[in-house]
Amino acid sequence: MTRAGTDRQPWTATVLTLFPEAFPGLLGSSLAGKGLERDLWRLETLDIRGFARDKHRSVDDTPFGGGAGMVMRPDVVGAAVEASAESPGPLVYLSPRGRTFDQAMAREFAEEPGLRLLCGRYEGIDERVLEASGAREVSIGDYVLSGGEVAAQVVLDAVVRLLPGVMGNEASGGDESFEGDLLEYPHYTRPAEWQGRSVPEVLLSGHHERVRQWRRARAEDITERRRPDLWHRYLERRRTGGNEEG
């Protein structure tokens, strides 16, 4: 059961960050932005610096044990995390050490009442805050960003488009990449002839079943060539009867 048709409050993102001005950023544009305006989802920010207590409002300090860079202080970040406790959803710490974000995780997050997204800076956050809060660590890929804000926006973009009403039907169908472990088939639009290249004949045929079969075959081709990891999962699923088609 999705969240559609319930009378709960809209799916709510609460972002804990040193850069609240970075939000909504791109999430304020396009259909996600319209969704925000229409209260289909909500976005709140908690400024971590607001929890600093010394006269310099410092949020970081040098690492015990030495080494380069600074670490976000547990007393400051811990207080921000506590202040977010009433906000809906699990606490996610954006971190290169986390489990890699994927479409299945996006769907799982869309089923929650919201998410609390903790954005690190510097070398990251004192480990004790992560232990004490039970934050789930999520990475957006095997590279190091300078802060969690861009990562939080990536996660939110992928989740928000799955919420009822935000994208109309576009994101709800089963055809998008990663649905059923396949990448998507190629798309074409008018003109039917462009720079000597024509659109595959079958797409002009008006024959829905042939179009469906052609798309499925192209999706399989592309997945097999580009993503052996997905392809093997797809074959396994088919072998055990987990695919609707095939």
Ligand X SMILES: C[S@@+](CC[C@H](N)C(=O)[O-])C[C@H]1O[C@@H](n2cnc3c(N)ncnc32)[C@H](O)[C@@H]1O
Give the residue ranges of the annotated binding site for S-adenosyl-L-methionine: 120, 140-145
The burial class, CB within 10 Å (0-12 / 13-18 / 19+), for 129 is buried
Q: What angle do CA 109, 142, 24 make, to 5 degrees?
A: 45
Cis peptide leading into 191, omega within 30 of 0? yes
Residue with tokens 């060539």: 225
Q: Closest CB to ligand X among 115 and 140?
A: 140
Do 135 and 7 meet the contact criterion of CB atoms below 8 Å apart?
no
195 CB neighbour count, 10 Å cutoff: 5
Size of the site for ligand X (CB under 6 A): 19
Judged by beta carbon, residue 90 or residue 96, the one nearer ligand X is: 96
Alpha-carbon span 77 to 50, nearest angstrom: 10
Least distance in Å: CB of 153 to ligand X? 11
Question: For ligand X, which is the closer residue by CB, 31 or 145?
Answer: 145
Among positions 78-97, residues that touch ligand X (CB under 6 A) are: 94-97
- Binding-site member from 15, 120, 133, 161 for ligand X (CB under 6 A): 120
The contact mask relative to ligand X for 139-178 (x = CB under 6 A, - = no) is: xxx-xxxxxx--x---------------------------
Using CB under 6 A, list all residues that contact ligand X: 94-97, 119-121, 123-124, 139-141, 143-148, 151
